[in-house]
A = this chain, B = another copy of it.
């Protein structure tokens, strides 16, 4: 398999997947080296940048996935007759920010920081799969500890948490 074919296989794999594919998975399926996969992915990303391409290579949640370009979102929303995606409330985002940096953390600890009850936010975040129960705190009442999930990265279009930290500094 030459590198042009390798790139074709990678495009095909990414095309059929509805979740991010890791470099390791690609290497396993294609029998290519890390360097070769990198080269193909880079090439794929470059070619998607052409004006006549509607999709792009997204580096997300520890892997790679093909997604549509931002500027065409409204055509897609028209097409699948779906309103633009709903966004999280400020309350839920604040709760999530606290969990992200303080995890594992209990509900009472979050409420202490936000100064309000967070039951509803936690439910929303749990339901959206952005946070999960990660254990119990070893204090009276054994309260539930919360942490963020892998879907968290996917939802915010992040490759890793480091990306977010660097944005803050």
Contacts and interface: CB of A to CB of B under 8 A. Distances in A.
Contact of A51 (B8, B66, B89): B8
Nearest to A12: B54
Interface in A115-146: 115-121, 123-124, 126-129, 132-133
Contacts of A133: 90
Interface string A7-41: 11111110111000100010001100000000000
A91 interface: yes
Contacts of A55: 11-12, 15
Contacts of A42: none
Nearest to A144: B90
A79 B116 contact: no
Contacts of A52: 4-5, 7-8, 11, 43, 47
Q: How many copies does the complex hold?
A: 2
Interface residues of A, number: 53
A163 interface: no
Nearest to A67: B15
Contacts of A10: 54
A5 B119 CA distance: 39
